[in-house]
Chain A
Amino acid sequence: MRLLYFAWVREKTGISSEEIDLPAHIETVGDLLRWQKTRGEEFAAAFEKDRVIRAAIDQTHARHDAAIAGAREIAFFPPVTGG
């Protein structure tokens, strides 16, 4: 699966994207957010405020309780500030 990071989430993790095989117990966006915190110092810092972080599954906004089964691409980012 492809994971993408934007804005301060990208800055804190230190990467903009990665290809990764997720552990089988991760079923929802929320599970994935919690797991991200366990991936070392950078990821712990990036996902510390996980409640404010938004997610998109295959380029569509997704809630934290959304199932990730079948997803090809999941992105994490702060609330948007365009316009």
Chain B
Amino acid sequence: MIRIQEGDFDLSAEIEALKDSRTDIGAIVTFTGTVRDRGSDKVIESMTLEHYPGMTEKELARIEQEAHARWPLQASLIIHRVGKLLPGDNIVLVATASAHRHAAFEAAAFLMDYLKTDAPFWKFEEGPDGAGWVDARETDGAAKARWSAKSSSKEEPAST
């Protein structure tokens, strides 16, 4: 399931909804990304997330489908917030449910690595030293590459 929203999410409520009273799930892995108060060399007072409505949902659904094709998942959830966020705020939640832990752990990492390089979100940071768009990190491309792309990415290599 995919959700793009401005508001916060409640981790325990989301896990309960994901379980949906099922008793055949043996493992649930969740990843929560939050806003840091520091960039590489500057203080951050707020972070605003922009996205491409329509394409975002399409990309996340494609990535989620790919995860379900690779691992025996019983359920999955991706929530990504947009709009203005403050240090400490939640940004993203990825949750995966499976009978055994390995599939859930790996699928959650896979979903985050692909989300980082393929989902059309952009971060704008503001702080006492000014404001600017966050640069993409080459390490994100490498993190995605470790899944040795069964599905070929149509993106060009990161150049920043």
Mask: chain B, 111-122; 1 = CB below 8 Å from A; 0 = not: 010011111111
Measured between beta carbons, the chain B residues less than 8 angstroms from A78 are: 122, 133, 136, 160
Assembled-state Cα–Cα distance A78/B91 (Å)? 20
Chain A contacts with B in 3-33, Cβ cutoff 8 A: 4, 6-8
Evaluate contact between A83 and B92: CB separation under 8 angstroms. Answer: yes
Q: Is B65 engaged at the interface, CB distance under 8 Å to the other chain?
A: no
CB of B120 within 8 A of CB of A80, answer yes
Q: Establish whether residues B122 and A77, one from each chain, have CB atoms under 8 Å apart when the complex forms.
A: yes
- A75 to B53: give the CA distance in the assembly, Å: 11
By a CB distance below 8 angstroms, the chain B residues around A40 are none
Contacts of A34 in B (CB 8 A): none
Could you show 30 A-B contacts with beta carbons less than 8 Å apart? Answer: A6-B50, A6-B52, A6-B120, A52-B159, A52-B160, A54-B156, A56-B120, A59-B54, A59-B58, A60-B55, A60-B58, A63-B155, A63-B156, A64-B156, A66-B154, A75-B52, A75-B55, A79-B135, A79-B136, A80-B118, A80-B119, A80-B136, A81-B121, A81-B134, A81-B135, A81-B136, A83-B80, A83-B92, A83-B112, A83-B116
Residue positions of A touching B, CB distance < 8 A? 4, 6-8, 51-52, 54, 56, 59-64, 66, 75, 77-83
Given A59-B54, A60-B58; 5 other pairs, CB 8 A cutoff: A54-B156, A61-B155, A62-B154, A80-B122, A82-B116
Binding site for A on B (CB under 8 A): 33, 49-52, 54-55, 58-59, 80, 91-92, 112, 115-124, 133-136, 153-156, 158-160
